A and B are shown apart, each in its own frame.
Chain A
Amino acid sequence: MKRTVVIVDDSKFLLRVMQLYFEKTMDFEVVATGVNGVQAVELYRRFQPDLICLDLTMPIKDGEEALVEIITEFPLARVLIISALGGPSILRCMKLGAKAYLEKPFRLEDEEFQKDFKHTLLELFTK
């Protein structure tokens, strides 16, 4: 059984890049993608995937609010924060229950970034 993932980011381009990466390189099944926090919560509730990738700065409802709602409803949710926002925002999300984080820019052409990405996914699924 492939691991499932929901990706939420307000950049459609990045969604596509991430979806391809998850499907082709990491062998995940991208069950859904969303572009704002409201969709993030809805999609999580509907699919309850193994992993959800959350951007922080998004319209309508930002990633942090979505994170709080998801964690409240599903305390064991694996949430990966993918954001360009700096330390304090990510620290807050980690405190609120995010399991790991990745820093944008999302440069898949950068070997270090890819390594970090793969390692982070490994860490997410160690427990």
Chain B
Amino acid sequence: MDSKIQSGNTETFHIHNHAGAMERDSSRLLSQSKSGLRKKLFRSVSLQLAIVLGAVFLIVMSLELLRIHRDFHRTQEKIAKVIVLNGSRLAQRTAMSLASLVNNAPYTTIFQIMSTTVATDPDILYGIYMDADRKPLVSVRPGDTLSSFSPLVAPLEDAMSLWVSGITKVQFRSVRDNGVSVIEFAAPVEKNGTILGFVRFGISVESMNLDLHESRVAWRKTKELTFSLFLLLAFSALIMALWSSSELSERITKPIRALTGSAIRIANGDYRAEIQSSGEDEIAALAVAFETMRTRIHGYTSELQSMVDQRVKQVRDILNNVRQGLFTFNLDLTVNSDCSSSALEILGFEDLTGRTLSQVFRMGSHDESLFRDWIEVVLKNHQVLRWEKLAKLAPCQDFLLPRASGERQVRVAYQKIVDAGGGLICIMALIEDVTEARLLKTRIEDEKILLEKKVETILGITCNPPEVIVEFLKDSATRINSLLQKFGNMDYPFVDKRRKKRVNDDTDSKVWIRTAYKDCHTIKGNAGAFGFGTLMELAHELENRLDEIIRGKATWSESFPLVRKLIGEMHEECQRMREIHSMLIGNSEEAYVRVPESKLLKIRHLAEKSQSLALSPDLLTLVEYCKRVSYRGLLSLTRKYQDLIARTAAKTGKDVVFSVAPQDLELDPELLFRADEALIHLLRNAVVHGIEENRSAAFLKKGIGRVDLAYSRTYGGHEFSVRDNGQGIDPDALLERAVASGILSPEAAMTLGEKDKLQLIFYPGFTTSEKPDSLSGRGMGLSIARESIAAFGGSLTLETRIGEGTVFTISLPV
């Protein structure tokens, strides 16, 4: 889990890194896109503006130039007209004034008129008067005087003069005079319809050309001015276009840029910034759509984020609170620094950085090499075998970790961590400090056993008649004390009889140890009957040890420590039982008889003694009552046998009904006490050996197993009978068993009659069981029973019928 979180973190980290790069990228992208779009827009708008402005100014300029050009030509024509008009008028007037004079006036007068006319205008280069025969009379140039004049006689023969001699009215023609452009105006001088001669004036067109030149310069100036104005205007228009288009493109691109920025932020996973939209154009619509999308995504992502945050917090909480420590280690056994806080706590480190698994787990070189073997096996097999199978082979699954505060029990589970391709990356260790749990478990188990034993004891004490329990406790205490005395010191009073196999040697040592055995056996039987399991088990164990000594299977010195220990434990157990008894029942002496027993017995004794003295029938009745004061009902007296039967039946898994008869008969407890030991054995035997298994009983259609205890008064005394409806005893089987176990020689066996064969059952050590257990089986029970009855001068006999059952009869004298 941790690893997932770890990897999750790294992933987040990666994303952040990535985001940083992207932000950088996007800002670059943004600036690029800004300049790109702006530039494009700017360029296209400027270009268009420039073209429009350029066209406008071109048209304006062309019109202007055309106008100037037209003006120029008009001026030129005007000047030419003026020159022609003036020249023609000059020639006309001069011709008219000469017409009246030519025939009459002297030559000087003509000269005078001509030179005066020439002198009137500096542009007039020359003045000629020639007669109809083309004889030049006057040819004057500015500055010429009369004195310098010499009349020409020969007619003029040049082309100009020829042309002039042909005219009839004022005419003009341009000629060149001394390299100067001249217009010659000519007019005929006529009188009364007769041409007398011709007046010719050469007027220079240089001044006119000068005018024209001036006019042309002016035109050129205007043209240049217009052109530069156009340029200026175009330039300023361009500047204006640039400025205005930049402003425009800025206005267009600004929202787009804002939108682009938002888009990039969203692409980077930042959905927080709101997208502003203004206006109503397409970009604004786009922005609105964009904002809707952003809001929705922001909603989703913030919900997701909060879910993730919550989950991460949960995992963190778990990690911080679990008692399990988590860390990972690599295949070279180096430990990674990522781990849960509990791991550090359990392992006793501040930090796992740079450590190896051997250090962390305090492994020895042997464990370490085992671990390396394991890693090798894991690497070889992890893609084929189930992980649980491999994890099971891991060393160090459960070990003691030495800590300053004491050893800690640590449990480790291993988990592989693989990459997407299934390759092993590292191994996760889940460690848990189970010291407390282990201690608690052991303590609880101990306490449970103690409590169970205590409950067992309490049940035994409370479920049995108090008087019987007191009797049992007293009896057991007496027997245990006697055992304590016997085994109180190390010295065994007799020779070790290990070599002797037969146990029927009637020696002192045999009696000595057999008494101990008998005591032990009785305690075991009684304890079992009342349900005091612990005491019964101890007695059983002691019985085994004593049996080994009796059979010579163990030496005294070998068994002694254990025997003594067992007796000590039995003593303690008995003490404990007495404590519980006194706690539950109170003073044991007064528990079951309101009248103290001694007093009761005294009354009884007194009554018995005074029987002979009793004279009246009333007194006799009193005496009889007194004698029976301690008598009790048979049913009540035999309650412990009921429990014994029930318990034994439960243990053997047989269904048994126990009955006592006659139930209401009152009996001297002393009498039952004498038969007690024998009855315990007989009743238990009846259930264990007499009654068949449930299955065979059902097969035989016998129904449920029955054990009946009956009392009867006989002529010579008392009789108890224990009857079962079991399988009966086969005398021949007894014989076979006796021969097989070496109790009887085959020869002796041949001589035995049917009744004698049955008597084998009372033989000490004779058993039909293969293995002794807590219920029976060592073959001592019946012999002890017979002995105990014999001790009171009684006898124990049996009758049996195969398939029908067995009756044991205890006869006791009065």
> Which residues of A approach B to under 8 Å, CB–CB?
87-88, 90-92, 94-95, 99-101, 119-120, 123, 126-127
Contact = CB atoms under 8 A, between A and B. Distances in A.
A120 B386 CA distance: 8
A126 B376 CA distance: 20
A95 B376 contact: yes
A123 B374 CA distance: 19
Given A94-B381, A123-B384, 6 more contacts: A87-B392, A91-B377, A94-B393, A95-B377, A123-B386, A126-B384
Contact of A91 (B384, B386, B393): B393
B392 A94 contact: no
Interface of B: 370, 373-374, 376-377, 380-381, 384-386, 389, 392-395
B235 to A, nearest CB: 86
Nearest to B377: A94
A123 B370 contact: no
Contacts of B385: 100, 120, 123
B389 A87 contact: no
Which are the 4 A-B pairs with shortest beta-carbon distances?
A: A94-B377, A91-B393, A95-B373, A123-B384
B370 A88 contact: yes
B389 A120 contact: yes
Contacts of B377: 91, 94-95
A90 B393 contact: yes
A87 B386 contact: no
A20 B384 CA distance: 26
* Most chain A C-beta atoms within 10 Å of own C-beta, residue among B370, B377, B395: B377
A95 B381 CA distance: 10
A101 B389 contact: yes
Contacts of A88: 370, 395
Interface SS majority for chain B:
helix
A100 B373 contact: no
A87 B373 CA distance: 12
Nearest to B392: A87
B389 A91 contact: no
Contacts of A91: 370, 373-374, 377, 393, 395
29 contacts: A87-B392, A87-B393, A87-B394, A87-B395, A88-B370, A88-B395, A91-B370, A91-B373, A91-B377, A91-B393, A91-B395, A94-B377, A94-B380, A94-B381, A94-B393, A95-B373, A95-B376, A95-B377, A100-B381, A100-B385, A100-B389, A101-B389, A101-B393, A120-B385, A123-B384, A123-B385, A123-B386, A126-B384, A127-B384
A119 B384 contact: no
Nearest to A103: B392
A127 B381 CA distance: 11
A127 B393 CA distance: 22
Contacts, number: 35
A43 B700 CA distance: 53
A126 B384 CA distance: 7
Contacts of A95: 373, 376-377
* Most chain B C-beta atoms within 10 Å of own C-beta, residue among A90, A95, A100, A119: A95
A9 B374 CA distance: 26
A101 B385 CA distance: 10
A88 B389 CA distance: 13
A42 to B, nearest CB: 27
A95 to B, nearest CB: 5
Contacts of B389: 100-101, 120
A94 B380 CA distance: 9
A119 B387 CA distance: 12
Nearest to B366: A88
A85 to B, nearest CB: 12
Contacts of A92: 373
Contacts of A94: 377, 380-381, 393
Contacts of A126: 384
A88 B374 CA distance: 9
A90 B373 CA distance: 11
Contacts of A90: 393
A68 to B, nearest CB: 15
B187 to A, nearest CB: 138
Nearest to A119: B386
Nearest to A100: B385
B501 to A, nearest CB: 35
Contacts of B393: 87, 90-91, 94, 101
A88 B370 CA distance: 8
A99 to B, nearest CB: 8
A116 to B, nearest CB: 8
A91 B396 CA distance: 13
A51 to B, nearest CB: 14
A119 B373 CA distance: 24
Nearest to B374: A91
* Most chain A C-beta atoms within 10 Å of own C-beta, residue among B370, B374, B393, B395: B393
A33 to B, nearest CB: 25
A119 B385 CA distance: 9
B635 to A, nearest CB: 48
Contacts of B373: 91-92, 95
Nearest to A91: B393
Nearest to B388: A116
A65 B385 CA distance: 23
A127 B385 CA distance: 11
B662 to A, nearest CB: 53
A119 B388 CA distance: 12
A100 B381 CA distance: 9
Contacts of B370: 88, 91
B608 to A, nearest CB: 69
Contacts of A101: 389, 393
A100 B395 CA distance: 17
A92 B377 CA distance: 9
Contacts of A100: 381, 385, 389
A84 B370 CA distance: 19
A126 B394 CA distance: 23
Contacts of A127: 384
A120 B384 CA distance: 10
A91 B380 CA distance: 12
A101 B394 CA distance: 14
A80 to B, nearest CB: 11
A123 B386 CA distance: 8
Contacts of B394: 87
A94 B393 CA distance: 9
A119 B376 CA distance: 22
A119 B393 CA distance: 17
Nearest to B376: A95
